[in-house]
Chains A and B, each alone.
Chain A
Amino acid sequence: MPLITYRTALNQAFAEELSRDESVFLMGEEVAQYNGAYKVTEGLWERFGSKRIIDTPISEAAFLGLGVGAAMMGLRPVIELMFWSFAYVGFDQIINNAGCIRYMSGGLINIPMVIRGPANGGTSVGATHSHTPENLLASTPGLKVVAPATPYDAKGLMIASIRDQDTVCFMENTLLYGNIGEVPEGSYSIPLGVADIKREGTDVSFIAHGRAVLTALEAAEMLQEEYGISAEVVDLRSIRPLDEEAIFTSIAKTHRVVLIDENKPFCGVSAQIASMIAEQAFDELDAPILRVTALDAPAIYSMPLEKLQLPTAERIIQKTLTLF
């Protein structure tokens, strides 16, 4: 299988869907002539032209809302946010319009739209540019949320998201764009709502999404080598819909769980999962449910402290050891 970057995997997904379906178009700041601020849409404007690949002014509320309206008419907009942090100026369009219109119309209207872009800390761009709003978005029934960790998942989930009848908030990561992995050529899709076991283990379950999956894998290797502890890594891939069965199955096997989450702790994705485990898998647990999250302050700029602020393999190991 070809080895390509996460960025190229996404690019291939767009090209596949743009070729397959005339109603798919891509819109956002610098996506066309500049090839995307992070080069995710490279070459698409040249190939598909200005009707399908559209540069916008810095007007997130307007072009997010345009996406909702066009999707109501049956088009399939893929709206790029240069950063998910910039969604905040257009939240009304995402939450009230994309999130609620289907319900308020009694199911008369669908919003088959993808809103995508990077949502991550860890690049020293300060608090305003480092938000990870997957928990906020997932708390709106009506929106779906996806956060792939690998190039393979990125491509398959993007294709599925573009074909989905509902609005999918697709959380990418600037720190992952350059990562390389095996990705099949051509089209394939990974259904939303199906987690993936990224590492089998027997002693403890690590549950994570996005880049935290890679941190969890790193911690799992170190735990194996240094302490002989075998950790299983469950990659959620999709946050809403959520594959709860995969979570419970893993816990039934390991009886211990650490949730790893680049969200802040308060009502982060891991908080929801912790509550589900407490309610539905309590009897399987031999130890308390633990979480490793971003430290609870706005994202700091200063480079060494920012590294500490996000979950690290060391913090995961420290916490995990308290379970044994």
Chain B
Amino acid sequence: MTRIMTPTTTDLDQAARAPINEAWSEEAKIHALREMLRIRRFEQQALKFYNQGKMGGFLHLYIGQESVAVGAASLMNGHDEIITAYRDHGHALAVGMSMEECMAELFGKATGCSKGKGGSMHFFAPDKHYWGGHGIVAGQVPLGLGLAFALKYRAIPGCALCFLGDGAINQGVFAESLNLAALCELPIVFLIENNGYSMGTSLERSSSMATCLAERAAGFNMDWDVVDGSHLYALRAKLHDAMEKARSASRPSLLEMTTYRYYGHSIADANHKKYRTPEEIEAYKKNHDPISSWQEQLMQEGILSQALLESLDEAAKLEAAGSVDFAEASPWPEPSTLFRDVYAEVDQGSEAGRLGRHFFSDLNAA
């Protein structure tokens, strides 16, 4: 069984009154809802076309976890940097990547965000401070350190948000990175998206712990906390504090966000109703769905009407369907592009790129 935090009403009231949430405009709150709906509708379309064989490889859906990426993105100040693992569609859309470029990437088309070269697990948008999309478990974690290091080095008033899964914390490089972050006082927040499972392995079967995962930071003398990742107020209140500490005092921290994925590890994971019960999935959907609980919250606050909700959802659906049309109509990458984007010097035709042989096969004389 997964541990799912059930925040009390008082916790949430308190979180709602945190200055960062008090200062959150109505417009921005609606925007957060829109973004969560966009992620969900996008992925539902992706699922449909994955099942029709339009995409290759794996499809790891973020559905159920939308509040984490959207809440984090809502706190980014234009200088903050963000990096995550292979379950990356939500973060990509939340930082402003378009559905079209993302869907086209899933379809392997030339118009995809990575020109069809990376696929589902490898979305990138440096112009939006989004550094991927990484397929190797925990491979992104030390890169997050590097983002933070560069920010500090250049005295940029931002921090690095480094996402990883609950399974990823058992990679050695995570421990190395915690130590380095604390030792070098890097402006970084590590966010564990604890959805209770790494593939078919429950949290209890993969991690030894006293009470929680985030506690591991204590041994490195780093601040840590556990956060209800399903609720935007709760998440923003604590994450904002951690980001501020990183930005202003170069103090790293580790936050564990409790969350849940509704689908299998990837769509190929046909077993996911065996290693967890349908009741568990239903209970989460019913009590913690990030979208419905945010809807309720906004309705209670009188900012959201049923009509507005429906129009937001309709727009998200249309946009998602449009992104599929775009992807389908887009061309495949040309065979000649296979050898492009490997070496910067070669692509730029610089002197360094022209000296010596860089590639040892070519298309025609293959």
Q: Which residues of B contact A300 (CB under 8 A)?
A: 116-117, 333, 338
* A319 and B58 alpha carbons, distance in the complex (Å): 34
CA distance A58 to B58 in the complex (A): 18
Cα A306 to Cα B116 with chains together (Å):
10
Q: With a CB–CB cut-off of 8 A, which chain B residues contact A61?
A: 171-172
Name the A residues within 8 Å of B138 (CB-CB).
58, 89
- Interchain CB contact under 8 A, B117 and A301: yes
List, in ascending order, chain B residues with CB within 8 A of A303's CB: 56, 108
B308 interface residue per 8 A CB criterion = no
* A residues less than 8 Å from B333 (CB atoms): 300, 302, 305
CA distance A30 to B27 in the complex (A): 45
When A55-B201, A57-B170, A128-B134 are in contact, do A297 and B118 touch as well, CB less than 8 Å?
no
- Which chain B positions have C-beta within 8 A of A180? none
A179 close to chain B: CB less than 8 A: no
Contact B200–A296 (Cβ < 8 Å) = no
Q: Range of interface residues on chain B?
A: 35 or more
Q: Which chain A residues numbered 189 to 245 have a C-beta less than 8 Å away from chain B?
A: none
Instruction: Please name the residue on chain A nearest to B202 by beta carbon.
Output: A33
A309 CA to B56 CA, complexed, in Å: 15
A129 touches B135 (CB 8 A): yes
* Cβ contact of A57, chosen from B135, B136, B167, B359, cutoff 8 A: B167
Find chain B residues with CB under 8 A from A292 CB.
Answer: 366
Residues of B within 8 A of A304 (CB): 108, 332
Complex CA–CA separation, A309 to B339 (angstroms):
11
Q: Give the A interface residue count (CB, 8 A).
A: 45
**Contact A34:B342 (CB < 8 A) given known A128-B121, A301-B116, A302-B117:** no
Which A residues are in CB contact (< 8 Å) with B271?
34
In the complex, what's the smallest C-beta–C-beta distance from B72 to chain A, in angstroms?
A: 23
Looking at chain B's contact residues, the main secondary structure is loop
B109 at the interface (CB under 8 A from A): yes
Tell me whether A301 and B118 are in contact (CB under 8 A).
yes
Residue among A58, A60, A129, A300 having the largest count of chain B Cβ atoms under 10 Å: A58
1/0 contact string of B27-68 vs chain A (CB within 8 Å): 000000000000000000000000000011110000000000
Q: Are B57 and A302 in contact (CB under 8 A)?
A: no
Whole-angstrom distance from the CB of B208 to the nearest CB of chain A?
Answer: 9
- B119: interface (CB < 8 Å): yes
Is B153 in the interface zone, CB < 8 Å from A?
Answer: no
A97 sits at the interface (CB 8 A): no
Chain B residues within 8 Å of A127, by CB: 117-118, 122
Contacts of A319 in B (CB 8 A): 366
B136 close to A59 (CB less than 8 A): no
Complex CA gap A300/B58 in Å reads 14
The yes or no answer to B361 lying at the interface (CB within 8 A) is yes
Q: Is A69 an interface residue (CB 8 A)?
A: no
Which B110-139 residues have C-beta < 8 A from chain A? 114, 116-119, 121-122, 134-139
Q: Does any Cβ of A come within 8 Å of B173's Cβ?
A: yes
**Residue B24 lies at the interface, judged by CB distance under 8 Å to chain A:** no
How far, in angstroms, from A85 to B136 measured CA to CA in the complex?
Answer: 9
Q: Which of B94-120 contact A (CB under 8 A)?
A: 105, 108-109, 114, 116-119
Tell me whether A305 and B275 are in contact (CB under 8 A): no
CA distance A129 to B333 in the complex (A): 20
- Please report which residues of chain A, range 48-71, place their CB below 8 angstroms from some CB of chain B when the two chains form the complex: 55, 57-62
B295 sits at the interface (CB 8 A) = no
Interfacial chain B residues near A126, Cβ < 8 Å: 57, 118-119, 121-122, 135
User: Nearest-CB distance from A38 to chain B (Å)?
Assistant: 10
**Residues B199 and A306 in contact, CB atoms below 8 Å apart:** no
Task: Pick the most buried of A55, A62, A124, A300: most chain B CB atoms within 10 A of its CB.
Answer: A300
Does B207 reach chain A (CB closer than 8 Å)? yes
A89/B119 in contact, CB under 8 A: no
A103 at the interface (CB under 8 A from B): no
CB atoms of A57 and B206 under 8 A apart: yes
Instruction: Tell me which of A29, A55, A123 has the highest count of chain B C-beta atoms within 10 A of its own C-beta.
Output: A29
Q: Which residue of B lies closest to A267 (CB)?
A: B360
Whether B275 lies near A34 (C-beta < 8 A) is: yes
User: What is A's interface to B at a CB cutoff of 8 Å?
Assistant: 29-30, 33-34, 37, 55, 57-62, 85-86, 88-89, 123-129, 264-266, 292-298, 300-306, 308-309, 315, 318-319
Beyond contacts A33-B201, A301-B122, A303-B108: 16 other A-B pairs, Cβ-Cβ < 8 A, are A30-B200, A34-B199, A34-B201, A57-B170, A57-B207, A58-B137, A88-B136, A89-B139, A124-B56, A128-B121, A295-B338, A295-B363, A300-B338, A302-B109, A302-B117, A305-B337
Interface residues of B, Cβ cutoff 8 Å to A: 55-58, 105, 108-109, 114, 116-119, 121-122, 134-139, 167-168, 170-173, 198-201, 205-207, 271, 275, 332-333, 335, 337-339, 342, 359-361, 363, 366
| A-B interface, 4 closest residue pairs, ranked by CB to CB distance from nearest | A124-B56, A301-B119, A302-B116, A302-B108
